[in-house]
Chain A
Amino acid sequence: MDTLRTTRRSQDAINAGSMADIAFLLLIFFLVTTTMDIEQGLLRRLPPVADAPATPAAARNVFQVHINAAGELLLGNERVELDELRERAVEFLTNPEGRSDLPTMRPITEAICREQIAAQVPGPVRELWQQRLATVRMIGSYVEPPAEAQMIIQTAPLTQYAQYVRVQDVLEGAVVSVRDVIAQRAFGKPFKELQPHDPKDRERMVALQRAVPLRLGDADLKDF
Chain B
Amino acid sequence: MSRFKDNSSKGTPAISTASLPDIIFMLLFFFMVTTVMREVDLLVKITLPEASETTKLEDKALVDYIYIGTPQAKALGSEPLMQLNDQFAKLDEIAGWVKAGEERREEVLIPKITRSLKVDKETNMKIVTEVKQELRKSNALKINYSTAQAR
Contacts and interface: CB of A to CB of B under 8 A. Distances in A.
Interface residues of B, number: 54
Nearest to B37: A34
A169 B21 contact: no
Interface string B119-151: 111111110110011011101111111110110
A34 B39 CA distance: 9
Contacts of B54: 40-42
Contact of B52 (A20, A30, A48, A169): A169
Given A41-B116, A161-B128, A165-B147, A23 B49 contact: no
Interface in A37-51: 38-49
Chain B's interface: helix, strand, loop or mixed, by majority? Answer: mixed
Interface stretch (B22-30, B70-78, B82-90, B91-99): B22-30
A47 B139 CA distance: 9
B145 A42 contact: yes
Contact of B36 (A17, A22, A34): A34
A72 interface: no
A197 B38 CA distance: 27
A162 interface: yes
A48 to B, nearest CB: 6
A161 B124 contact: yes
Given A20-B24, A168-B51, A45 B125 contact: no
A166 B150 CA distance: 11
A14 interface: no
A155 interface: yes
Contact of A42 (B21, B53, B124, B125): B53
Nearest to B120: A161
B31 interface: yes
A159 B127 CA distance: 11
Contacts, number: 155
A190 B33 CA distance: 31
A221 B54 CA distance: 23
A168 B20 contact: no
A176 B55 CA distance: 12
B149 A166 contact: no
A119 interface: no
Given A46-B143, A165-B147, A169-B51, A35 B36 contact: yes
B99 to A, nearest CB: 16
Contacts of B31: 27, 30-31, 34
Interface string B5-32: 0000000000001101100110110011
Nearest to A168: B145
Contact of B53 (A17, A157, A173): A173
A187 interface: no
Given A27-B27, A158-B125, A165 B21 contact: no
B35 interface: yes
B57 interface: yes
Nearest to B144: A41
B116 A39 contact: yes
A16 interface: yes
Given A155-B125, A220-B132, 18 more contacts: A16-B18, A27-B27, A27-B28, A36-B35, A39-B60, A39-B63, A40-B56, A42-B53, A42-B147, A43-B114, A43-B142, A44-B144, A46-B142, A47-B141, A48-B136, A161-B128, A165-B50, A168-B51
6 contacts: A34-B37, A43-B114, A162-B49, A165-B51, A168-B51, A168-B145
